[in-house]
Structure 1
């Protein structure tokens, strides 16, 4: 029945998606028929889980809200609720400017949302989720918030200080996910490096990952969003010695020049950054490092960009993304600096870095030719199966394309694949 059906629109990052999945379990436990981003849904109740991180994300969230406001006016839906980061940060303004929404909720107000639907929040289900990703992998969020004071970032304003989840809660959730068929855990947090310091008075990331690796039938664990200061070196030994812990690390560095690292309030300098990278690569031979760079931050000069280009060329990160700076209100940068670099110039700087990275990626891919790699199949599309190695994370990294004629492969299964060809980013192979 469409009256008892709820369709949730989940916007933004993977951390937001975990929140959506937790809410879906609560609704499911209360006898609702709940879907996530179902096309042509006949659901009469829509919940939008918004993102409010950067300008483009906020614009997408507002556009999505307005889209469903029109659906409500047309009588296609009865109820429209909004939650998430945008609602957490701008609830009063949104209520005034878009009053057609039935109710706005903060990012973590599960109980309020469930109660609004005349149901009760079920505490026993706090570590249970409805997985919306392909069933063989899931994101595992181990903390909320952030204690850092980076100049450009609004995350601490939206989500507050860093709060680590207890190890036992995380392991319980992971075991439930694996029971449901998950074979790969993508461990996520705004700041992995700080995990445990607030709760246990010392870093506990290595201990947590070791406990997760003991879960039977779990194949891969990947780590996302480490911070370079207070880096948890204990995880490197696990990566090197524990076959379940992938030799993959997402560590956002943002820049290389001392001038920019200072203006960005990153708490690290160029020399220490290079020492960290070299230590990681020495401790974990063959590791794949993914990082992001931010260009166009106020105060960035041509000299800074040249420094960054040299740094990217020298470090040869296997995976790298670049984002242009956007002024976020109430951040240190918005309050203390002038955003005087034109958007066109920001985009130019981004493209310059990405052209360098394109060549680095191609060079790295060519070295894979002839190798035999373990690959998990994510989907079949057209004439190819699309899979990933332990060195690639879902959606953000390159894929391995295997011709469908190579055999009847199963989504979620692992295969040994010989790499036969490559492009700038993707690899091609055949099952051995």
Structure 2
């Protein structure tokens, strides 16, 4: 059977999608990119915030016109299983995350196949560039941020064994993957649930020895758990990049406490100082929420000043989304949408200038770039440096070359132009 697949939401959901596609292939199904060719379509949904829910619902209705079988999985299926079953008759099957252990059997019921294969053990069908892959080191989250529905959807943190992570990366390396990005809701808490202590430093030392992998990047590192041991392990590693994705969410200590975030603004400032002391070439990334209930104009200004002081290399922000069943749902007074959007626009304008000035400092430098594509119209190449994660939050390196370069190749590029989020240059032979 030909099966179309739509993966929505974050990179953690993408890993689930690749594992589901692996089960489908193991059962003899062909994954097709064009929904018009599909006999069945699987939609792996996101249900994190309201816009993501709306995108998932719209996608369900859009895909329902193409295939005879429509299967909905993922976060929206987990959180709103009965609502989806009762209110959208176009759906043939809803498979929530809690049923992934019986995924092959659940798929068999609707696709009428043999039902072999395991969600966790089937070989992933990589959906992106074959030289780069995400590796999820744990699922769920034991933090209880008051705005976040993830623990309601995926439960408490469940870490993989260190040996399982190593084996997964070794298998990816055998298939030609050269860049690995370690992900979880909270990577710094890795191992606490099954080993009884924080194990990220141990994991760094373990994966650093894997042959064939050139770059390893870690995302979603909570500031209070970036220990000296983790920093030292990163410093000693030849493959783990000095890339620090530290989701701060705000700079007001009152709001951080209200969000149930651990640590303070001062703690983060001290951490940033320590990172930059140990890693002069460090890339620092964070996210922030504006318009959280009770946020005052003074507290928003504190966030602006904090961003200007730290000068994050990579920065993402979004307006607060009110999610039912979370503690923040009932917090008041709320910040109206117009005010929240104004604050977001102002914040991103400040960051755009910081990013431009940061990129201008790279002019004249030669940077290592992983080449990802060649533009059909211009002939220019696009790739990413060590400072650019493989997602939309980061920029790219755009460059010209006098010779043809195969995507997936590492080259050196001399930077001669800076843009707010991207840099441009020429191949440095």
Query: What TM bracket, shorter-length normalisation?
Result: over 0.9
Please give the per-residue CA displacement for 1:29-76, whole angstroms capped at 9, x wherever unaligned.
1111123xx13541110111000001110000001111123x1xxxx4
Distance (whole Å) between structure 1 residues aligned to residue 216 and residue 420 of structure 2: 26
Does residue 1:129 correspond to 2:119, yes or no?
no
Contact 1:195 1:205 in 2 (8 A): yes
CA positional deviation for 1:262: 1.4
SS for the counterpart of 1:211 is helix
TM-score of the aligned structures, taking structure 2 as reference length: 0.95
1:160 matched residue in structure 2: 155
Does residue 1:179 correspond to 2:169, yes or no?
no
TM-score of the aligned structures, taking structure 1 as reference length: 0.94
1:94 matched residue in structure 2: 84
Distance (whole Å) between structure 2 residues aligned to residue 125 and residue 156 of structure 1: 20
2:10 matched residue in structure 1: 13
Among 123, 137, 140, which residue is 1:142 paired with?
137
Distance (whole Å) between structure 1 residues aligned to residue 367 and residue 303 of structure 2: 32
Distance (whole Å) between structure 1 residues aligned to residue 426 and residue 287 of structure 2: 31
1:214 matched residue in structure 2: 209
Does residue 1:350 correspond to 2:344, yes or no?
yes
1:431 matched residue in structure 2: 427
SS for the counterpart of 1:246 is coil
Distance (whole Å) between structure 1 residues aligned to residue 36 and residue 406 of structure 2: 28
Distance (whole Å) between structure 1 residues aligned to residue 82 and residue 28 of structure 2: 31
Distance (whole Å) between structure 2 residues aligned to residue 174 and residue 365 of structure 1: 32
Contact 2:20 2:119 in 1 (8 A): no
CA positional deviation for 1:263: 1.3
Distance (whole Å) between structure 1 residues aligned to residue 88 and residue 107 of structure 2: 22
CA positional deviation for 1:355: 1.1
CA positional deviation for 1:125: 6.7
Please give the per-residue CA displacement for 1:274-297, whole angstroms capped at 9, x wherever unaligned.
122222222222210110010000
1:48 matched residue in structure 2: 43
* Count of residues in correspondence between the two structures: 420
2:363 matched residue in structure 1: 369
- Larger mean CA deviation between 420-429 and 102-111 belongs to 102-111
Contact 1:26 1:114 in 2 (8 A): no
SS for the counterpart of 2:332 is coil
2:388 matched residue in structure 1: 392
* 5+ long unaligned stretches in structure 1: none
User: Structure 1 residues 101, 339: closer, same or farther in 2, change over 3 A?
Assistant: farther
Does residue 1:418 correspond to 2:414, yes or no?
yes
User: Structure 1 residues 392, 339: closer, same or farther in 2, change over 3 A?
Assistant: farther
User: Structure 1 residues 114, 397: closer, same or farther in 2, change over 3 A?
Assistant: same
Among 403, 406, 416, which residue is 2:402 paired with?
406
1:246 matched residue in structure 2: 241
1:82 matched residue in structure 2: 72
CA positional deviation for 1:17: 0.7
* 5+ long unaligned stretches in structure 2: none
2:228 matched residue in structure 1: 233
1:261 matched residue in structure 2: 256
Contact 1:228 1:251 in 2 (8 A): yes
Contact 2:223 2:248 in 1 (8 A): yes
Give RMSD over aligned pairs.
Answer: 1.5
